[in-house]
Amino acid sequence: MAGDRAGVVTDGEMVDPPADARVFRHHALAGLADVAPSGRARLDAVARWLQDAALADVVDSGLDAGGVWVLRRLRLRVERFPRFGDRVEVCTFCSATGPLVAERRSTVLDDGGAAVQAVALWVHLDPDGAHPRPLPEGFDAVYGAAAAGRRARARLRHPAAPPAGAPVRPWRFRAADLDLAGHVNNAVYWEVLEEELAGPGEPPAGLDVEIEHRAAADAGEAVVAEDGGMRWICANGDVVATLRRSD
């Protein structure tokens, strides 16, 4: 039972959806701009669906305390990739909370059932995005039952920097990658892995990948450092995001 886990720190765990609390549903279509040449949905498209579902849920909740939500971490466990033309449903709920953060669990379903499982950590910030801000007033009344007392941690888990001598390759963020905040949108970072998945074959089943966002990036030159399953995306001398792949 979810209530039996009150006070448990989830730390990115894929908890089950609640049976009797708020679960928001958002629909999308795997269109031409969402798929690779093979017809499978790309990781950046899945990230956009999740981002749109999160925004739609917040708007539907009626909670607006003037703050903004910024993605800190997103883990995707892809059982299979939706295909071109698939109508997908994103089922999303609040799975844990902290004083300044909230964790969101989501499932992307297609005609075959659950295709992608996701868990994201969002930080609530002041309108200017500079400082953390307590969760909006009334948040617990809307999302508390689904969170069931579970606690989320704000700390990041990935190594902060690549090891000395790690190979690097060039990258570039375009002006078209920027969103309303004037920074590279979080979904764009997944294109780093998509470059590695490109090719005639399909990615392996059970792909498990996670991104952590450390700083905002602007349009311009960047590099990607590699070490095993880890990727560090560096821009303007800073690590702006890290990617971890295990499959």
Domains and CATH numbers, the chain: 2-147 (3.10.129.10), 168-246 (3.10.129.10)
CA distance 117 to 111: 15
pLDDT at 9: 66
Question: Does the predicted TM-score (pTM) go above 0.75?
Answer: yes
Asked if 120 and 71 touch (Cβ cutoff 8 Å), the reply is yes
Cross-sheet strand order for the sheet of 87-97: 24-29, 87-97, 101-110, 113-125, 68-78, 207-213, 238-246, 230-235, 220-227, 168-173
Which two three-digit tokens encode residue 197?
A: 């998945």
pLDDT at 199: 73
pLDDT at 6: 61
Q: Is the dihedral of CA 24, 27, 33, 34 positive or negative?
A: positive
- Name the residue among 177, 30, 52 with its Cα closest to residue 104: 52
Q: What does the pLDDT profile of the chain (247 residues) look like in tens digits?
A: 344 556 676 677 899 999 999 999 999 999 999 999 999 999 999 999 999 999 999 999 998 767 889 999 999 999 999 999 999 999 999 999 999 999 999 999 999 999 999 999 999 988 877 788 899 999 999 999 999 999 998 889 999 999 999 999 999 999 999 998 889 999 999 999 999 998 767 787 789 999 999 999 999 999 999 999 999 999 988 999 999 998 6
CA distance 90 to 137: 26
pLDDT at 2: 44
Q: Is the dihedral of CA 42, 82, 23, 52 positive or negative?
A: positive
Instruction: Tell me whether strands 87-97 and 113-125 are parallel, antiparallel or unpaired.
Output: unpaired
Q: Which residues contact 160 (CB under 8 A, 6 or more apart)?
A: 214, 239, 242
Asked if 106 and 92 touch (Cβ cutoff 8 Å), the reply is yes
Asked if 27 and 57 touch (Cβ cutoff 8 Å), the reply is no
pLDDT at 1: 39
CA distance 117 to 63: 26
Which two three-digit tokens encode residue 179?
A: 């969103």
End-to-end Cα spacing for the chain? 30
